[in-house]
Amino acid sequence: MSNRRTFIKQMMAGGILLPSAPQLLAEGNSSGVVGNGESVGSSEIRIALIGKGGMGTADANCALRVPGVKITAVCDVYETRLEDAKKQWGDHIFITKDYNDILKRSDVDAVLIGTPDHWHQPIAIAAMKAGKHVYCEKPVIHKISEAEKLIDAQRVSGMYFQAGSQGMASLGN
């Protein structure tokens, strides 16, 4: 496998994103071999969390159990959650209250969206337009008409999108 982008692409092709990587990896497979027999190698997958509430934090912790995944940035509107992010994941991470700051960063490959529901679709669209792969908590949309914009953003950008479903899109399921 040539690089981390190829790895992400192949994981997405199987309907899997960072938090739902093969259980094999989560259970300590030190060989670095994924389901199709190809090696992940030393490539890093750099994620950012947008929305550090309960679900967002759980999604990030799950993703970080996968070897090679690294958190580089966190966005939340509450200062205490940003402070907690640095305590939990290290002083090196970039923190902000504006998700657009994260979307501009070159050290972010994918975003995990765990914000309140009404922000899911607009942030997911903005992230894909910015060249980031997306894992988004449900519900992604509130009206059928909102789906068209999301689908168009995915098709035009070529970025991968996965909607989370509690108990179905996590390690071990």
pLDDT at 171: 64
Q: What is the rounded CA–CA span in Å between residue 20 and residue 26?
A: 10
Greater pLDDT, 62 or 19: 62
pLDDT at 11: 53
Residue 163 pLDDT greater than 90, yes or no: yes
Domain ranges of the chain: 4-163
Task: Please name the amino acid found at residue 54.
Answer: G
pLDDT at 78: 98
Domain spanning 4-163: CATH superfamily:
NAD(P)-binding Rossmann-like Domain (3.40.50.720)
pLDDT digits (tens, 9 = 90+) for 55-95: 999 999 999 999 999 999 999 999 999 999 999 999 999 99
pLDDT digits (tens, 9 = 90+) for 111-162: 999 999 999 999 999 999 999 999 999 999 999 999 999 999 999 999 999 9
Name the residue among 140, 171, 172 with its Cα closest to residue 63: 171
Name the residue among 156, 153, 159 with its Cα closest to residue 126: 153
Q: Are strands 94-96 and 161-163 parallel, antiparallel or unpaired?
A: unpaired
